[in-house]
Amino acid sequence: MPDIADRPYDDAPVSTSKDQDAAVRIATAEAVEDRGDSFAGWAVTINRPSAELYAWWRDFSNLASVMENVEAIDVLDDKRSHWTVKAPGGTHVEWDAIVTEEREGELIAWASAEGADVANSGRVTFRDAGARGTVVTATILYDPPAGVIGKLVAKLFQREPNIQVRRDLARFKQLMETGEVATNAMNPKQREEQAA
């Protein structure tokens, strides 16, 4: 998040700080709504124009095709979307996400609405990188709940939170650059089994 001022130590993205408390404090003061105390962030460079990537992302119903475990994203109105995420044993967790800030071709920020199963907020920025395309940076703040859902969230975010963000961005990059999401499945049936 290069646009967040007042970094206490250096010029590095705030989500990479070793002092998570300070990082959360700075981020919530300036860039994302306060929805938790756990941070995840990653960046990819995608060889496509920022306008195209932004437009694809801004249509939130697209995102389920690159996000693991996300079952459906229903767009309710211009700002509001409803997220349904797979949980073990055929259950789901759900929340409404509200767009809190957007700048065409540059930035989308969101926060979960009241009553979310997993409170979260974050932003995705699209920065023009010349001949290399666009740097897409995702920063997510979330509140890992206790109990069963907590376990699910831990699973969702794998061993460490960045892994899930990284995988989702990797799939986004694949789809945007090649028109498809890579799979080693031998046939469509196997692909479905892998996704289940």
Partner 1 sequence: MKALTWHGKHDVRIDNVDDPEIVNPRDAIIKVTATAICGSDLHLYDGYIPTMQSGDILGHEFMGEVVETGSGSTLKKGQKVVVPFTIACGSCYHCGKHQYSGCENGNPADNQDIARELYGHPMAALFGYSHMTGGYAGGQAEYVRVPFSDTGPIVIPDGVEDEKVLFLSDILPTGWMAAENAEIEPGDTVAVWGCGPVGLFAVQSAFLMGAERVIAIDHFPHRLELARKFGAETINYEQTATYDALMQMTGGIGPDAVIDSVGLEAHGLFVDNAIDQIKASTFLGTDRIHAIRQAIIACRKGGRVSMPAVYGGFVDKFPLGAVMQKGLTLKTGQTHVQHYLPGLLDAIMEGKIDTTFLISHRMPLEQAPEGYRMFHDQQNEVTKIVLKPGQ
Binding residues for partner 1, per CB under 8 A?
A: 45, 47, 68, 132-133, 158, 163, 166-168, 170-171, 173-174, 177-188, 190-191
Enumerate residues 6+ apart whose C-beta is below 8 A from 14. 1, 4, 7, 23, 26, 27, 31, 139
Nearer to partner 1, 29 or 182 (CB): 182
Tell me the closest approach of the beta carbon of residue 158 to partner 1, in angstroms.
Answer: 8
Copy the structure tokens of residue 20.
Answer: 């998570």
Tell me the closest approach of the beta carbon of residue 196 to partner 1, in angstroms.
Answer: 14
Tell me the closest approach of the beta carbon of residue 124 to partner 1, in angstroms.
Answer: 17
Let me know the angle formed at the C-alpha of 78 by 73 and 83, rounded to the nearest 5 degrees.
20
Tell me the closest approach of the beta carbon of residue 63 to partner 1, in angstroms.
Answer: 14
Where do the DSSP E strands lie in 47-145? 70-75, 80-86, 92-103, 107-112, 120-128, 134-142
Nearer to partner 1, 99 or 163 (CB): 163
Nearer to partner 1, 30 or 177 (CB): 177
Nearer to partner 1, 61 or 178 (CB): 178
